[in-house]
Chain A
């Protein structure tokens, strides 16, 4: 019976079944007072039961997606001689951070059908059905969202940034900028052959403000009145303190 099952499993798996084994340098990021972005090392190996099929082209893809949030993309136009915001498109549920790294250019590493299914390239990852919607379907605004966020290092699409050794060991570094949104960062690793996904691995990185940062942020959002009085108290005592100290120095 067991033997029969094992035989069935072996049949179900494609020839030369390969499996991703992966880990990362940290799965928890604490935003403290001296936080200035972070670098995460994601590494792993391909586990094989038999020698790898040599004819097909293999690729490793790593994606990291931040918590989804609603954003408004606005376009400036010239009105009355000055540049003002005119058109706007709401994108509900766009990831606050998105990074894709791969061993070879994405266009070769993935067929469009597989991309559609797994939502790997940035435009597809942003507009995953059931997760994100655009108030108006205008590709110019989606392109702009990706471009602006790439410039600010919130989105990163980097071909060739995954290093692969002996078709087995892989590693990549994902740069997280300092303006991270708190929450879970879904991390996925894909192994493809001839553009087809053979295996995938998913985990997540948890980002959270800690210590003083956590305390100030929570107070500002949950007790805004107390927070504002505290801010004023600090300001007034600093003003009073300064004048007292310098009066003392002068006399």
Chain B
């Protein structure tokens, strides 16, 4: 059964979209990630125009993050103040990102930029996760006592001006580092159509020193606004948000997330992480090959000449 997507202007199999949403949902349920970083490249692969895939990916991320943040709000694991600082940075970043996106779209380099971003970030994060989880598995096998990791003093974060008290996180730090982290997520949300949780979560833990239990909720809180803002910007400047595509992916995603949560509880944390790492590296490898190998067709056509 085919469905015609009014904005992407292509006809795609309904079950393919539902299945894709479902797979992403399973992954986000299993690993607690938004899944946008896998969704957008997969949409490219099934023939959705990149600009539509990125904008609709951002819209889709709003839904999955909203569902997640509700659970966290109930558990009071969202630092609203930190979230607000992050999201102000995020808005600025998203506005910047959409500008960069449009500029590069005009000169025909948007595919390159999106692909490069994916290869760099997926490659980096995937490799880190792979090594880290391999070490964890090895340690678990040895059954020795895990050596205590000594946390570095983050002197430079504390030395900055404009300090603010974040009660939920138990921190008294400058607003500049969180604002910068937020900005980076905003840029990524606009360019890659992802929530950027895979950047903010490690940054909040290692850079800002936030307690792990509030990190996921706060990250999700910020992601809703940043991806929401990116959706509005893409919709108003490029007209590239496809509502029908988003709804199809949502339906699959919502069901998949529940199945994923069940599978996730049966696997060990290290196994989960190594699986996720392998998947991230596989997507990264596919995108890298596209850039490195000689394409079969050297020419491409873009409708609308802007030069």
Question: In the complex where A83-B291, A239-B62, A242-B67 touch, is A231 in contact with B299 (Cβ < 8 A)?
Answer: no
Residues of B within 8 A of A227 (CB): 235, 241, 243
Given A149-B301, A220-B241, CB of A178 within 8 Å of CB of B2: yes
CB neighbours of A214 from chain B (8 A)? 6
In angstroms, Cα B244 to Cα A83, docked, is 33
**Neighbour of B59 across the interface among A74, A149, A217, A235, CB < 8 A:** A235
B67 touches A85 (CB 8 A): no
- Interface segment out of the listed A109-117, A139-147, A156-164, A167-175: A139-147
Task: Give A20-45 as 1s and 0s: 1 = Cβ < 8 Å from B's Cβ atoms.
Answer: 00000000000111111100000000
Stretch at the interface among A2-10, A65-73, A100-108, A196-204: A65-73
Contact B291 A74, beta carbon cutoff 8 Å:
no
Asked if B10 contacts A235 (CB within 8 A), the reply is no
Chain B positions within 8 Å of A, measured between CB atoms, are 1-4, 6-7, 9-11, 59-60, 62-67, 70-71, 108-109, 111-112, 228, 231-232, 234-236, 239, 241, 243-244, 246-247, 250-251, 254, 257-258, 291-295, 297-307
Rounded to whole angstroms, the CA-CA distance of A92 and B191 in the bound complex is 28
Q: Are A231 and B231 in contact (CB under 8 A)?
A: yes
Interface status of A248 (Cβ within 8 A of chain B):
no
Q: What separation, in Å, do the CA atoms of A239 and B250 have in the docked complex?
A: 8
Contacts of B236 in A (CB 8 A): 224-225, 228
* A69/B303 in contact, CB under 8 A: yes
| Set of chain B residues within 8 Å of A151, measured between Cβ atoms | 297
Q: Which of A83, A209, A242 has the most chain B CB atoms closer than 10 A to its own CB?
A: A242
Q: Tell me, in angstroms, the Cα distance from A213 to B245 when the chains sit together.
A: 12
Cβ of B71 to closest chain A Cβ, rounded Å: 7
Chain A residues in the interface with B (C-beta under 8 A): 31-37, 69-78, 81-85, 88, 90-92, 96, 135, 141, 144-145, 147-149, 151, 178-181, 209, 212-214, 216-217, 220-221, 224-225, 227-232, 234-236, 238-243, 246
**Closest-CB distance, A249 to chain B (whole angstroms):** 8
Closest to B62 in A: A235
State the CA gap A229–B112 with chains docked (Å).
30
In whole Å, how far is B82's beta carbon from the nearest beta carbon of chain A? 22
Output the least CB separation between B224 and chain A (Å).
Answer: 8
The answer to whether B250 touches A209, judged by C-beta atoms less than 8 angstroms apart, is: no
Residues of A within 8 A of B10 (CB): 178-179
B4 close to A32 (CB less than 8 A): yes
CB atoms of A83 and B307 under 8 A apart? no
Chain A to chain B contacts (Cβ below 8 Å), 28 pairs: A33-B244, A34-B4, A72-B304, A74-B301, A74-B302, A76-B298, A83-B293, A84-B109, A85-B109, A147-B299, A179-B10, A181-B9, A217-B6, A220-B7, A225-B235, A230-B243, A231-B235, A231-B241, A231-B246, A232-B62, A234-B247, A235-B59, A235-B63, A235-B231, A236-B62, A236-B63, A238-B247, A239-B66
- For residue B2, which residues in chain A have a CB less than 8 angstroms away from its CB? 34-36, 178
